[in-house]
């Protein structure tokens, strides 16, 4: 039995025990809660699979009161039922072919409630987003309930029976040896060429554990290769000689492990011969090297890198004063045409500054062809503005990719290797990259919709902290704050004590009396309308300020944009960011670019209308 299955089955057992408890046996009820609390804490401690219980749920678990017992119990049952069903969706657990059996287990566990309790449950039931084989649980008699249990048990037997799969010990050993050889070669190459950067590579100087799991396709397995920071210098490579038929989604632990997750590769493993594409090839090392270089480079170092890449594309770099006269980073000629390149790495990308730059460009020679090079995607709005002004947008990685397409990544390798002696590696660059990519993964896996609001809120809180925590002298925040009348509840409140007195945060503190920043998270499946958007403005008040930020999944519609403009005209600044924008901001943060420009740009777009 896999660790994931053991814990999930134990949650169902705990669910059964809670359902059987009653007010006349409080010890059994408290013991059941204690068992459940212990299980959940261990699942979260070892990061075995996602759970999104609310703070109210945890408060009830810890409560020592049995006052209003029925409502307490059914509140716990409702959330636990929701989580157990949601876990069966592929963004949480993978278990191939056992859906019917597990749905039946959960239903039978639920039917340990008595008829009155089931009636209460139906009144407050939170329907799971992925509710497989839904049904209501209103019964006139115990006989009717027992008949339902018999039907569910019969239904359970209709599910396909999982065939036991056996992988020979020799096959495990051979695969493990191949993996050890591949990673040994990977580490050897890195230590030969970039020893000072070794700790920044995902599988170098780290413990590596690999697992064979089921896959969606019938002709392959999934080969999960995880790396972990080790506190005792353990950099061993190990393949578990076990087949995982019940396991978590990416990127959660498949066993009880407290070491910090550092990275992962997911490969397809052919069933016929257990062969796989080597994710530790020299080409992959070069891509990882490029990411490390960009993340840790200064603006000048990126400018030099761009110059090198343009030379590789047969541009002749002008060494005269042309670029200085027109204030470009690089000027060049190719095929009798003149080009000018503006490079945006850590440089401000706010819409106001981009538009000011375009105005300056228009004053220069019409024969000059301008291009803007970005080290991460600048956002759809800026991309559209540049396209409308006939300015070419170039993403640095696209310039690089051409060399990989012709199997010439060595040229990038030699360039970056020559720059390593002067490259200043940020102390937390690897952790920052992993944290950012993990947040992107969580955001992409979180299903839009009201049912998953708690999960989205938790992710949103972490994203805001990741993006802006270092903008403040001291980051102080509090989640889910109600006002005194308890009629408005803000998802996140952050103390506005900006480290930079000229920053955006200082601006909203001066102009919008923003002593605390309100951030609200809207996990709606569609774009927010005016009503959804306006509701956030009710959280603003004297003492807090007239400024708020909204994170949403799809953005805002035309009615909400009109509402946003009207609020701005009335002295309230409300900014909104959708999933795509948040991902772009996280990627900017990873490479050392402060994403605060995004807030400046949003505000500028509102200012233009007045």
d(CA 456, CA 452) in angstroms, rounded, equals: 6
**By 3-state DSSP, what share of the chain in percent is helix, strand and coil, each rounded to 5?**
50, 15, 35
Cα 140 to Cα 114, 116, 434, distances in angstroms: 11, 10, 55
Does the domain spanning 292-422 belong to CATH 2.40.360? no
Strand order in the sheet with 207-213: 237-244, 207-213, 220-228, 261-270
**pLDDT score for 399:** 92
**For residue range 249-296, what is the model confidence (pLDDT) as tens digits?**
988 999 999 999 999 999 999 999 999 999 999 999 999 999 999 999
Flag whether pLDDT at 89 surpasses 70: yes
pLDDT at residue 100 is higher than 80: yes
Distance between CA atoms of residues 288 and 301, nearest Å: 18
Indicate if the pLDDT at residue 547 is higher than 80: yes
Candidates 2, 97, 96; CA nearest to 49 is 2
Enumerate the β-bridge partners of residue 481. 490
Q: pLDDT tens across 127-136, in order?
A: 887 888 999 9
What is the distance between the alpha carbons of residues 231 and 176, in angstroms, rounded to a whole number? 24
CA atoms of 480 and 87, how far apart (whole Å): 25
CATH of domain 429-607: 3.40.1350
Residue 550 has pLDDT above 60, yes or no: yes
Model pLDDT, residue 483 = 43
Task: Say if residues 545 and 512 touch (Cβ distance below 8 Å).
Answer: yes
- What per-residue confidence (pLDDT) applies to 55? 84
Helical (H) or strand (E) element with 362:
helix 351-362
CATH fold match for the domains 292-422 and 429-607: yes
pLDDT digits (tens, 9 = 90+) for 575-601: 999 999 999 999 999 999 999 999 999
- Whether the CB-CB separation of 183 and 243 falls below 8 Å is answered with no
Lowest mean pLDDT among 21-25, 126-130, 149-153, 311-315: 126-130
- Ramachandran angles phi, psi of 541, nearest 5°: -165, 170
Residue 225 pairs in a beta bridge with: 210, 265
Residue 542 has pLDDT above 80, yes or no: no
For the chain, what is the mean pLDDT? 91
With left for phi above 0 and alpha for psi between -120 and 50, is residue 24 left, alpha or beta? alpha
Terminal Cα-to-Cα distance of the chain (whole angstroms): 64
The average pLDDT across 105-124 equals 96
Domain extents in the chain: 3-156, 169-280, 292-422, 429-607
Q: What is the pLDDT of residue 423?
A: 94
DSSP 3-state of 528:
strand
The CA-based angle 257-259-265, given to 5 degrees, is: 85
CA distance 434 to 331: 36
Residues 166 and 243: their CA atoms lie apart, in Å, by 8
In this prediction, residue 29 carries a pLDDT of: 94
The DSSP bridge pattern shows strands 368-374 and 392-395 to be parallel
**Packing angle of the helix pair 380-388, 351-362 (nearest 10 deg):** 10
> Does the pLDDT of residue 488 top 70, yes or no?
no
- pTM, two decimal places: 0.84
Average pLDDT over residues 540-562: 89
30-34, 298-302, 473-477, 488-492: least confident range: 488-492
Tell me what percent of the residues of the chain surpass a pLDDT of 70: 96
CA 534/CA 84 separation, integer angstroms: 34
State mean pLDDT over 9-25: 95
Over residues 435-440, the mean pLDDT reads 92
Q: How far apart are CA 492 and CA 496, in angstroms?
A: 12
Tell me what the mean pLDDT of segment 55-83 comes to.
93
The predicted model gives 107-117 an average pLDDT of 96
pLDDT at 325 over 70: no
DSSP single-letter state for residue 424: -
Per-residue pLDDT tens over the stretch 344-395: 999 988 898 899 888 888 776 667 889 999 999 998 989 999 999 999 999 9
Q: At what angle do helices 558-569 and 596-607 cross, to 10 degrees?
A: 80
- Give the pLDDT band (50/70/90) at residue 490: low
- pLDDT above 50: residue 485: no
Decide if pLDDT at 482 tops 50: no
């Amino acid at each position: 039995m896999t660790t994931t299955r053991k814990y999930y089955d134990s949650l169902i057992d705990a669910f059964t025990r809670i359902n059987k408890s009653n007010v006349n046996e409080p010890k059994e009820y408290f013991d059941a809660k204690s068992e459940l609390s212990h299980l959940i804490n261990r699942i979260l401690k070892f990061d075995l699979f996602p759970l999104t219980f609310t703070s109210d749920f945890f408060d009830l678990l810890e409560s020592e009161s049995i006052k209003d017992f029925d409502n307490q119990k059914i509140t716990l049952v409702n959330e636990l039922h929701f989580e157990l069903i949601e876990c069966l969706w592929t963004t949480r657990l993978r278990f191939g072919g056992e859906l019917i059996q597990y749905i039946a287990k959960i239903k039978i566990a639920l039917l340990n409630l008595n008829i009155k309790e089931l009636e209460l449950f139906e009144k407050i039931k939170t329907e799971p987003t992925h509710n497989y084989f839904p049904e209501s649980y209103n019964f006139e008699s115990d006989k009717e309930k027992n008949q339902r249990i018999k039907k569910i048990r019969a239904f359970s037997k209709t599910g396909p029976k999982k065939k036991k799969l056996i992988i020979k010990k020799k096959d495990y050993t051979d695969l493990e040896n191949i993996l050890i050889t591949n990673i040994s070669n990977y580490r050897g190459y890195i230590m030969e060429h970039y020893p000072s950067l070794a700790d920044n590579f995902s599988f170098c100087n780290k413990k590596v554990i690999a697992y064979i799991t089921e896959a969606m396709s019938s002709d392959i397995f999934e080969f999960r290769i995880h790396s972990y920071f080790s506190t005792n210098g353990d950099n061993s490579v190990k393949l578990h000689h076990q087949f995982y038929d019940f396991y978590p989604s990416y990127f959660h632990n498949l066993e009880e492990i407290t070491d910090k997750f550092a990275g992962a590769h997911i490969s397809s493993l052919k069933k016929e011969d257990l062969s796989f594409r080597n994710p530790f090839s020299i080409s992959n090392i070069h891509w990882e090297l490029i990411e490390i270089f960009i993340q840790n480079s200064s603006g000048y170092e990126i400018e030099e890198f761009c110059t090198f890449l343009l030379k590789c594309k047969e541009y002749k770099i002008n060494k005269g004063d042309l670029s200085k006269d027109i204030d470009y980073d690089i000027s060049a000629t190719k095929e009798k045409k003149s080009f000018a390149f503006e490079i945006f790495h850590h440089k401000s990308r706010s819409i106001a500054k981009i538009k000011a730059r375009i105005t300056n460009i228009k004053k220069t020679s019409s024969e000059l062809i301008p291009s803007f090079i970005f080290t991460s995607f600048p956002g759809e709005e800026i991309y559209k503005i540049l396209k409308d002004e006939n300015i070419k947008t170039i993403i640095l990685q696209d310039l690089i990719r051409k060399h990989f397409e012709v199997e010439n990544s060595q040229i990038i390798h030699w360039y970056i290797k020559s720059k390593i002696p002067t490259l200043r590696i940020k102390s937390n660059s690897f952790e920052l990259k992993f944290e950012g990519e993990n947040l992107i993964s969580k955001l992409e896996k979180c299903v839009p919709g009201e049912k998953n609001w708690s999960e989205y809120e938790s992710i949103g809180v972490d994203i805001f902290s990741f993006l802006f925590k270092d903008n403040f002298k001291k980051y102080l925040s509090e989640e889910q704050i109600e006002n005194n009348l308890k009629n408005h509840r803000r998802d996140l409140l952050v103390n506005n004590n900006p480290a930079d007195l000229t920053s955006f945060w200082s601006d909203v503190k001066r102009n919008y009396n923003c002593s605390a920043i309100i951030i609200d998270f809207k996990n709606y499946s569609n774009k927010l309308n005016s009503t959804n958007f306006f509701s956030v403005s009710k959280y603003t008040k004297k003492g807090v300020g007239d400024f708020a930020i909204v994170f949403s999944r799809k953005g805002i519609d035309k009615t909400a944009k009109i509402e946003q403009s009207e609020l701005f005209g009335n002295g309230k600044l409300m900014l909104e960011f959708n999933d795509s924008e948040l991902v772009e901001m996280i990627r900017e943060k990873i490479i050392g670019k402060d994403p605060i420009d995004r807030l400046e740009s949003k505000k500028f777009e509102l200012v233009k209308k007045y």
